[in-house]
């Protein structure tokens, strides 16, 4: 058994396991690095007082953390979905991967304040594999309901699922494993551990150059099963960064999509800072569509987040914030902070590039399976006549992007040494 005083307990458990059983899949490594109950990234970041992986003091930003307008726009879209279902007495909103609960807090707050009829029917259930300690807003995944009518929503959930890694080597699809040699974790290459890995790559194999790397998420099927069991009738909104499979395995994406983040810096090595940095991979939306289709869900659309929020009416909210400065309800500084947060949601080189996949099951009137989903199809803004929430009014804490010492700050005169959103998310060489 190998031991070292410099290794943390999680690293030591991985070292001992590899010494006994040999190299492990990257999926197993990523599972331990992110979700180990004692020393994994999410448990350690969410269960320590004053610690969070999200926001100015964390390692990355999300749309909910950027501004409460994100939750408000989703609330309006959810109300329209409720109306499509006949404005029934019960509409259950289930958030999977709710994290610190900010999105749920913003959605509930806006529904209560602005949408009183919908508020009478709406119930919000927020769950996460690793809920924050003592949270009254987010429950364990065991609290997921069964057979509801309503909508399942997730934001940046699927990209945090552990993935297997592959490489094209000597004309074959080979798997990239994790080994431990000479005092450090290293990659090793071997036969694929699951034939589904090769099956996912086969349609694109002839186009991929020698040394090409990528990822395969074999866990999406479990998520689809959970979605199907939870939602009997209604909608699924899946917000994440990713592509359809032909784009995901494009020949020019030679290094794959695996990313690690530490204190808003793009990491170069996922095998470092084990349990202390986030690790993500782009979502295979072809697998999402296929899995949900098998379970009887229709795909309604997959616009970018910029398109989705613009269709709902984010511009109306931005105009409302400006009008409040003229009316004396907001100072110009407060409005600038709000506009920075709202603008980040539709930045075409940042959060605006995320995809919003919308699916439906059991929603049909006059033979039309989707009815109108304004976020997808456009039309009259759902924000007409509505007021925008602001950072100062929100009960939940949000990042103040103008004050952040990160690439998201617009108050810093010199950002030359920091990665941009484009650099953080781009896959191109």
Residue 79 half-sphere exposure, CB side, CA atoms within 13 Å?
Answer: 21
pLDDT digits (tens, 9 = 90+) for 21-38: 999 999 999 999 999 998
Distance in angstroms between the alpha carbons of the first and the last residue of the chain: 41
Are the CB atoms for 201 and 216 separated by under 8 Å?
yes
Over residues 39-64, mean pLDDT: 67
Q: Was domain 46-160+217-246+259-420 assigned CATH 3.40.50.11540?
A: no
pLDDT category at 186 given cuts 50, 70, 90 is very high
Query: pLDDT at position 53, please?
Result: 43
Q: What is the mean pLDDT of residues 262-289?
A: 84
Q: Which range has the top average pLDDT, 268-282, 338-352, 415-429?
A: 338-352
Indicate whether 204 pLDDT > 60.
yes
Gap between the Cα atoms of 410 and 350, Å rounded = 14
- Residue 344: band (very low, low, confident or very high) from pLDDT cuts 50, 70, 90: very high
The domain segmentation of the chain, as residue ranges, is: 46-160+217-246+259-420
C-alpha distance from residue 107 to each of 119, 244, 413 (Å): 11, 29, 34
**pLDDT(294) > 50:** yes
Across the chain, mean pLDDT equals: 89
Residue with tokens 């991979």: 281
Mean pLDDT of 126-133: 92
pLDDT at position 368: 58
What is the model's pLDDT at position 61?
75
Mean pLDDT throughout 98-111? 96
Mean pLDDT confidence for 383-387: 96
Residue 316 confidence (pLDDT) above 80: yes
Q: Is 80 exceeded by the pLDDT of residue 262?
A: no
**Tokens at residue 96, please?**
């999977």
Q: Which of 148-157, 158-167, 263-272 has the lowest mean pLDDT?
A: 263-272
pLDDT higher than 90, residue 266 = no
For the entire predicted model, the pTM comes to 0.90
Average pLDDT over residues 79-102: 96
Average pLDDT over residues 403-410: 47
Question: Residue 38: left (phi > 0), alpha (psi -120 to 50), or beta?
Answer: alpha
Lowest mean pLDDT among 57-66, 124-133, 195-204, 267-276: 57-66
Percentage of the chain exceeding pLDDT 90 = 77
Long-range contacts of 244-249 (CB under 8 A, 24+ apart): 244/284, 244/285, 244/286, 244/289, 245/200, 245/203, 245/204, 245/284, 245/285, 245/286, 245/287, 246/204, 246/286, 248/214, 248/282, 248/284, 248/286, 249/201, 249/204, 249/208, 249/214
- Residue 76 confidence (pLDDT) above 70: yes
pLDDT at 103 over 90: yes
The pLDDT of 123-137, averaged and rounded, is: 91
Least confident interval from 77-86, 137-146, 412-421? 412-421
Average pLDDT over residues 81-86: 95
Contact call for residues 66 and 345 (beta carbons, < 8 A): yes
Is pLDDT above 60 for 428?
A: no
The yes-or-no verdict on residue 372 having pLDDT over 70 is yes
Residue 279 has pLDDT above 90, yes or no: yes
**What does the pLDDT read at residue 7?**
80
Give me the pLDDT at residue 425, please: 46
> Token pair for residue 80?
């329209």
Percent of the chain's residues with pLDDT above 70: 86
pLDDT (mean) for 84-92: 95
Region of poorest pLDDT, from 43-47, 401-405, 423-427: 423-427
């Amino acid at each position: 058994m190998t031991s070292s005083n410099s290794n943390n307990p999680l690293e030591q458990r991985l070292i001992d396991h590899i010494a006994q059983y040999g190299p492990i899949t990257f999926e197993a490594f990523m599972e331990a690095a992110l979700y180990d109950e004692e020393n994994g990234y999410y448990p350690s970041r969410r269960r320590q007082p004053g610690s969070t992986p999200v926001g100015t003091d964390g390692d990355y930003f999300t749309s909910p953390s950027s501004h409460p307008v994100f939750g408000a726009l989703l609330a309006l879209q959810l109300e329209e979905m409720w109306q499509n279902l006949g404005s029934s007495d019960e509409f259950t909103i289930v958030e999977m991967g709710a994290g610190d609960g900010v999105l749920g807090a913003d959605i509930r707050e806006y529904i209560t304040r602005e949408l009183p009829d919908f508020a009478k029917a709406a119930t919000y259930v927020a769950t996460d594999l690793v809920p924050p300690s003592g949270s009254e807003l987010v429950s364990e995944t065991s609290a997921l309901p069964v057979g509801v009518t309503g909508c399942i929503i997730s934001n940046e959930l699927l990209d945090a699922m552990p993935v297997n890694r592959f490489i094209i080597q000597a004309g074959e699809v080979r798997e990239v494993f994790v080994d431990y040699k000479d005092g450090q974790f290293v990659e090793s290459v071997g036969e694929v551990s699951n034939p589904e890995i090769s099956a996912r790559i086969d349609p694109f194999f002839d186009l991929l150059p020698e040394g090409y790397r990528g990822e395969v998420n074999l866990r999406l099927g479990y998520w689809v099963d959970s979605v199907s069991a939870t939602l009997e009738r209604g909608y699924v909104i899946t917000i994440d960064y990713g592509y359809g499979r032909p784009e995901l395995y494009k020949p020019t994406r030679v290094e794959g999509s695996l990313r690690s983040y530490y204190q808003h810096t793009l990491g170069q090595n996922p095998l470092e800072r084990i349990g202390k940095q986030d690790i993500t991979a782009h979502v295979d939306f072809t697998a999402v569509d296929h899995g949900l289709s098998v379970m009887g869900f229709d795909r309604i659309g997959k616009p970018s987040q910029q398109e989705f929020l613009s269709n709902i009416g984010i511009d109306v909210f931005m105009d409302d914030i400006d009008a409040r400065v003229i009316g004396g309800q907001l100072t110009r500084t407060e409005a600038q902070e709000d506009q920075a947060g709202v603008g980040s949601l539709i930045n075409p080189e940042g959060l605006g590039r995320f995809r919003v996949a919308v699916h439906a099951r059991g929603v049909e009137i006059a033979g039309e399976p989707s009815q109108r989903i304004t976020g997808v199809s456009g039309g009259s803004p759902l924000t007409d006549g509505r007021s925008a929430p602001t950072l100062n009014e929100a009960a939940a804490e949000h990042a103040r992007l103008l004050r952040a010492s990160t690439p998201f700050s617009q108050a810093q005169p010199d950002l030359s040494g920091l990665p941009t959103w484009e650099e953080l998310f781009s896959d191109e060489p």
